[in-house]
Structure 1
Amino acid sequence: MTQISPALVTAFAPSGTLRASINLGNPILANKHPVSYQPVGVSIDLAHEFARRLGLGVELVVFDKAAASVDAVRAERADIGFFAIDPARSEGLRFTAPYVLIEGSYLVRDGSELQDNAEVDTPGHRIAVGAGSAYDLFLTREIHQAELVRVQGAQAVLSALRAGQVDVAAGIRQLLETEAQRSSGVRLLPGRFMVIQQAMGTPASRGAEAQALLAAFVEEMKSSGFVAEALQRHGIEGASVAP
């Protein structure tokens, strides 16, 4: 990255501190440390490194759901964020290219007749999905015959499946695999129904130059091995560094 002008630093962080919107609802990107309970993960590492490049301190603005995290950046209550790229989120935001790819999968109960992802979108099936999540946005466009049941957060998605309120749970493959391994009664359908492109974003009002700087930062973090090392350091499986 080239020398960053004071004007561009101010454009990114008008308050003098870089406010980073963090979504704890995606454990591949962020989680709470088991001892300190502070946010940790690849998105936190990227936020700190970008703030260091700007010569600023960082403030983590933490949320439990993706939709709230996105809204904070769009409303300029945060200066950067970490979200899945989706056309429904484009208004008011400028995205980088993705830095991490995550698979979206389906979880069903053991007794379900469903054996393949293609069988899910048929009449009579109910699919639980986190409201406002990347899966919700994608499936809203792609599901035509099954019914989407929107609930608040990943744990509510899993609870709805186990309670028999829905036939399918949609979410992060890693999270669903963990649920299937944790206790009996549910199984993962093979393959994936989508690949989620996780990127960084900033308010559109910050301008094209700010977007270009953030985009260059993301490319450097991928090519230098920073993202791969962060995923490994935090013990993350089920995600890959984007090309």
Structure 2
Amino acid sequence: MPDLAISGELLQALAPTGVLRASINLGNPILAKADSGTVTPYGVSVDLANELAARLGVGIRHLVFDAAGKAADALKQDAVDVGFVAIDPARAEGIAFTAPYVLIEGCYLVRQDSPISANAQVDRPGIRVAVGKGSAYDLYLSRELKHAALVRAPTSPAVVDTFVAEGLDVAAGVRQQLEADCARHAGLRLLPERFMVIRQAMATPKSRPAPAVDFLIRFVEEMKASGFVAQALARHGIAGASVAPAHEQEADR
């Protein structure tokens, strides 16, 4: 971003400790994963954090969380400088968002012999839906479902295990995670339509000055336009997620 100078004030606002502290959510495999036996993360959100630190000329520290709600809480508590979470009005009080960089589908999963065949059949009395606590789809379904009951698993990767163990009716989650879970558990199927689009964005604590938020907004737009995000998705073998379109208006905050 040659037209956006990095002043001392901006550097202090984005990395006040001299190191960029990035909240990394391992609860969404599209964003980040970690090799078995290590906590070193990798993925598109890690690549974006590393590139931002390089632009700022500072070191990077990845703070790894196993659930989106925990990653978002770290932002709200000003314990990190940047993070990668879905845009949701329930989070907006303490978090400033860029426009999304990736769009992900939220879908429902049921058993093969379930009478539920369409999304409209989920929100009925007596239906119990497993969700990841504090996830974007938990927040969304908490507002949208009027009759079905939500049962919260501790993390998104634990949703289907909770669904199976507790004999629930529906599991909600990111399509790619649910597809992977279908490979682990026989007798499951996804409903054909998505119930939401999850808009994954970069974010910073809302207490940070407006120029810091504006810098992140422009950084994300450049990362999309340059092909950086698309290349990161391809490099990490992520299928089914799409690069969000350019966002010319003021980003959601």
**Which TM-score applies when normalising by structure 1?**
0.97
**Distance in 2 of aligned mates of 1:100 and 1:115:** 28
Q: CA deviation at 1:36?
A: 5.5
* Superposed CA offset, 1:60-85 (max 9, x none): 01100111111111111100000000
Count, aligned residues: 243
For structure 1, which segment, 216-225 or 110-119, has the greater mean C-alpha deviation from structure 2 after superposition? 110-119
Deviation at residue 154 of structure 1 after TM alignment: 2.3
Quick one: which amino acid aligns to residue 181 of structure 2? E
Q: Distance in 1 between matches of 2:103 and 2:162?
A: 26
State the identity as a percent.
60
Q: Structure 2: which 5+ runs fail to align?
A: 246-253
Asked if structure 2 preserves the Cα contact closer than 8 Å seen for 1:109 and 1:161, the reply is no
Amino acid at match of 1:137: L
The residue type equivalent to 1:128 in the other structure is: A
* Matched AA of 1:50: L
Matched, 1:139 2:141: yes
* 1:123/1:146 contact within 8 Å kept: yes
Q: Over residues 147-176 of structure 1, what are the superposed CA-to-partner deviations in whole Å (9 max), with x where a residue is unaligned?
A: 111120124311122224310000000111
Give the corresponding residue for 1:174: 176
> Distance between the aligned counterparts of 1:115 and 1:167, measured in 2?
12
Among candidates 178, 203, 206, match of residue 201 of structure 1:
203
Q: How do 1:1-243 residues align onto structure 2 when only pairs under 5 Å count?
A: 1=1, 2-34=4-36, 37-243=39-245
Return the letter of the residue paired with 2:165.
A
Answer yes or no: is the 8 Å Cα contact 1:99–1:198 preserved in 2: yes
Letter in 1 for 2:102: V
Determine if contact 2:133/2:156 at 8 Å carries over to the other structure: no
Shift of 1:34: 4.7
User: 1:71, 1:36 → 2: CA distance?
Assistant: 23
2: CA distance between counterparts of 1:37 and 1:60?
A: 10
Q: Is the 8 A contact 1:109 1:162 kept in 2?
A: no
Point out the more displaced range, 96-105 or 177-186. 177-186
Change (3 A) 1:132 1:35: closer
Aligned CA RMSD, in angstroms, stands at 1.2
Letter in 2 for 1:90: A
Moved over 3 A (4+): 34-37
| Separation (CA, whole Å) in 1 of partners of 2:190 and 2:36 | 27
**Any stretches of 5+ residues in structure 1 without a counterpart?**
none
SS of 1:83's partner is strand
CA deviations over 1:116-155 (Å, ceiling 9, x no partner): 1111001110000011110110000100011111120124
For the 8 Å contact 2:20–2:61, the answer to whether it is kept is yes
Contact 2:14 2:208 (C-alpha < 8 Å) held by counterparts: yes
SS at match of 1:113: coil
Deviation at 1:181, TM superposition (A): 2.9
CA distance in 2, matches of 1:190, 1:121: 16
What is the CA–CA distance in structure 1 between the aligned matches of 2:123 and 2:129, rounded to whole Å? 9
Distance 2:207 2:164 in 1: 44
